[in-house]
Amino acid sequence: MTVRTSFVDTFRRIAASRQIVLMIVLAALFYGVYYPAPYRQGHAQDVAIALVDEAPTPLTRAMVARLEASEAVRVGAYASDLSAARAALMRREVDGIVLLPAGTVQRALRGENSGIAVWVNGTYLVRAKAIGTAVEEALTDSLRDDLGAGRQAPVPEASFTVVSQPMFNPDLAYDAYIFPAVTPVILQQTLLFGAALLFAGYRRVQRSELIGQWLALGTISATLALVYFGWFFVLQDVPRQASLAALLIVALVGGGAFAGFALLGASLFRSPREALLVLIPTSLPIFFLSGATWPRQAMPQWIEWLGGLLPSTQIGRALLLVDQMGAPLSAASGSLLLAAALGLSALVAAMVTNRAGA
């Protein structure tokens, strides 16, 4: 079978199977809409907290009013003491506790640690951060207003002000961060599962047949990548800075790498059922290995090395550099070359596996 015949035959086989079309094409498109939907607001809102004010004063009441007016948090319970607040947290009625201890005002006005304590449910990091930010802003604004109203007590003044200006995600929106990071994983894994349905247990007579299949799967993956980069990212208002040419190169390299990875994965199993049982649970670990949830530099070295062997990790880094950070394509050349090498190595390994199983 020639490369061209195999290329056309692969498309024909995909189109003839509703299950494979669903897995390779529709699942990828579905995730492009479904995955970012829960994060559309971009920020945590109305996170419930339990408030303990041990010695109410005009300043602490002003802080409470600012917390209640915040979009990030809402006071879900006014607890009489810390024990009652902790009980509400354990019952999951609230996501955090804010303690305003006696003497908060005096310590703050002396420039000392205010003593305000915050406990949060660490299960949801975005919510935890929202609580901390809301409390910090409420304290700062309340003190500023209180001092501006003419308080006579001597107050130490800060010698400088730190202004934080995000560079690549100006709104600090969670969806603008997580969606580009997970996109290569979605494209890689949906293609892997589809290839498993299509080719697990399939033995080829000639190398040209495998190359044709690789070109077909790579074409599909690259096309889906361009749909993500050019439409889904626009739809979700993800910060974008790359040129069309740069995105096209990332899509083509990613498509080829994902196709090689998918064919190798499919070649390791004797049946589609066996392949899916093993491969489906790999998606979450692969996402963690990408470095989107935890910096790869902070991982143990062998785990960082393992994650670097995945095409999705390299394409994710290249996409981050050229599209979200606006770096020139040359800055991503290392990741792109490594992704291409991984894809070709996987394709060669699939040829060897196919020959061994023939």
Q: What is the pLDDT of residue 162?
A: 45
- CATH homologous superfamily of 47-148 equals abc type-2 transporter like domain (3.40.1710.10)
Per-10-residue mean pLDDT, the chain, length 358: 92 91 89 76 76 83 83 86 89 87 71 74 70 77 64 47 54 70 94 93 82 96 93 82 91 97 93 92 92 82 92 94 87 95 95 71
Burial (CB count <10 Å: 0-12, 13-18, 19+), residue 176: buried
How many Å apart are CA 144 and CA 300, to the nearest integer?
Answer: 44
- The neighbouring-strand residues paired with 92 are none
Q: What is the pTM of this model?
A: 0.74
The domain ranges of the chain are 3-39+173-357, 47-148
